[in-house]
Amino acid sequence: NAGVTQTPKFQVLKTGQSMTLQCAQDMNHNSMYWYRQDPGMGLRLIYYSASEGTTDKGEVPNGYNVSRLNKREFSLRLESAAPSQTSVYFCASSPEGIYGYTFGSGTRLTVV
């Protein structure tokens, strides 16, 4: 099925460890996004990429880096994980224009 694929689905890290969350879409969308979702709060934008080769900071970028590897793939890296980064992370994509996003199924990350 066409859509957004995220890996891994679950991850436990120790404070200070690094990891990369992977995201790929097969809908030929230009824009891709990384969000985090915490209880009682709305989805908050970490980074986005309006097109291949460009990336921009969102509302909560500190502690994260991203790479738009090609049109399909957009990865999120935590260089030195902290307990405050415990969250559920969602990748999303959208075509140009005012359209709803297609979200992946999420990565549940726990930092101990």
Partner 1 sequence: EDQVTQSPEALRLQEGESSSLNCSYTVSGLRGLFWYRQDPGKGPEFLFTLYSAGEEKEKERLKATLTKKESFLHITAPKPEDSATYLCAAEDNNNDMRFGAGTRLTVKP
Q: Using CB under 8 A, list all residues that contact partner 1.
A: 4, 35, 40-45, 90, 92, 98-106
The CA-atom distances, in angstroms, between 59 and each of 17, 26, 33, 46, 97 are 23, 26, 12, 6, 21
What is the smallest separation between the CB atom of 47 and partner 1, expressed in angstroms? 13
Q: Cα–Cα distance between 81 and 19 in angstroms, integer?
A: 8
Q: Which amino acid is at 56?
A: D
Least distance to partner 1, CB of residue 4, Å:
8
Residues 6+ apart with CB under 8 A from 7: 21, 22, 107
> Which one, 17 or 43, has the nearer CB to partner 1?
43
Nearer to partner 1, 63 or 101 (CB): 101
50 neighbors 56 (Cβ within 8 angstroms):
yes
- We find the least distance from the C-beta atom of residue 59 to partner 1, in angstroms, to be 9
Residue (85 or 93) nearer to partner 1, CB: 93
Rounded to the nearest whole angstrom, what is the least distance from the CB of residue 10 to partner 1 in the complex? 11
